[in-house]
Amino acid sequence: MFIIDSPSHDAYFNIALEEYLLYKYPTEDIFLLYINAPSIIVGKFQNTLAEINLDYVKENQIKVVRRMSGGGTVYHDLGNLNFSFHTLLGEFDFMDFSTFTAPVVHVLNELNVPAKLEGRNDLLVDGKKFSGNAKLAKNGKMIQHGTILFNSDMSVLGDALKINPLKYVDKAIKSNRARVKNLIEYLPKEMTTDELKMLLIEEMLANNPKAKSIELSQEDIQGVGKLIEEKYNTWEWNFGFSPKYNFKNAKKIPAGFIEVHLDVVKGIIEHAKVFGDFFASEPIEEFEAKLIGVKHDQSQLKTILASFDLTVYFGKVTTDEILELFK
């Protein structure tokens, strides 16, 4: 088993690293640990826009990254420790989450934290969740990874993941906003996320005689960088990969009441319909047609909306007022 402590706090890097290691080490067992700066990690089959508070995320420069595995959306920050086990597919029951959460539970139990696995894939303490786990199979390997809420900023967690459920109707997997808890409440106040990480590394070394710690080479870092550029830092993967969904939003502005309905497939607007009590000097169908084929993305929509005269469709309005309808 190779034990790897990621040198980066960048979410693009660490999520890409998981995929990179699948191909770099197709037969070796791996235990990977990483800590991300503020970021939102979206499950593979989720509609990103339906999971996040887009305005808050942009204002606070929180990265949004889609991972390879299913499951729900999670918030990461420097008070959050993430672990990832890579093994050969078929060596373990794919639906068994206990084997690879056991080291985490044991370390915490030794620290007098009453942690335990409950349900299918969650670690709880006093009935509250501090770790969610997900799995995937790819390239002949199985990955089970999880997050540990150690001393995460819960206020940001709540704000970054808030969304109006009435805006999006889709068949994507929704996140369960479970009651969660930080482990720091059960541990010495001076303990750090890095110290917990080192305890987990020591646990793995003690119980796996053939395990050894290795560092990423410059070639590895460049390989991960290439994967980030091609996939993990792209709109197409992080937002466009989302399943088909219907979006609607309505606002009352000085020009009148305006309601927008969109059908979006792979992040691209396929159908648009606008309703309201506004006054238009040109057919609103012309405006609707201009939206077809455009990404449901604020920057691209702003460019499109600024390229023609909106007042002929809505009266005295600004680009920003109309753009708000698409959030």
The residues, any chain, with a CB within 8 Å of residue 250's CB and separated by 6 or more, are 257, 258, 259, 260, 276, 325
Q: Where are the domains of the chain?
A: 2-240, 245-326
Q: Identify the pLDDT of residue 66.
A: 94
- Selected from 3.90.1150.10, 3.40.50.150, 3.30.390.50, 2.70.150.10, the CATH number assigned to the domain covering 245-326 reads 3.30.390.50
The residues, any chain, with a CB within 8 Å of residue 217's CB and separated by 6 or more, are none
Q: Identify the pLDDT of residue 169.
A: 63
Classify the C-alpha dihedral 320-321-322-323 as positive or negative: positive
Over residues 179-217, the pLDDT tens digits come to 888 999 998 778 899 999 999 999 999 998 899 999 999
Cα separation, 113 vs 122, whole angstroms: 15
Ranges under pLDDT 50 in the chain: none
Q: Identify the pLDDT of residue 167.
A: 58
Other residues' Cβ atoms within 10 Å of the Cβ of residue 95? 8
Q: Identify the pLDDT of residue 172.
A: 55
Q: Identify the pLDDT of residue 81.
A: 97
- List, as one string, the DSSP characters of 117-154: EETTTEEEETTEEEEEEEEEEETTEEEEEEEEESS--H
* Adjacent-strand bridge partners of 83: 33, 146
Q: Identify the pLDDT of residue 121.
A: 86
CATH number for region 2-240: 3.30.930.10
- List, as one string, the DSSP characters of 214-277: E---HHHHHHHHHHIIIIIT-HIIIIITSPPEEEEEEEEETTEEEEEEEEEETTEEEEEEEEES
Cα separation, 168 vs 245, whole angstroms: 7
φ/ψ of 223, rounded to 5, equals -65, -40
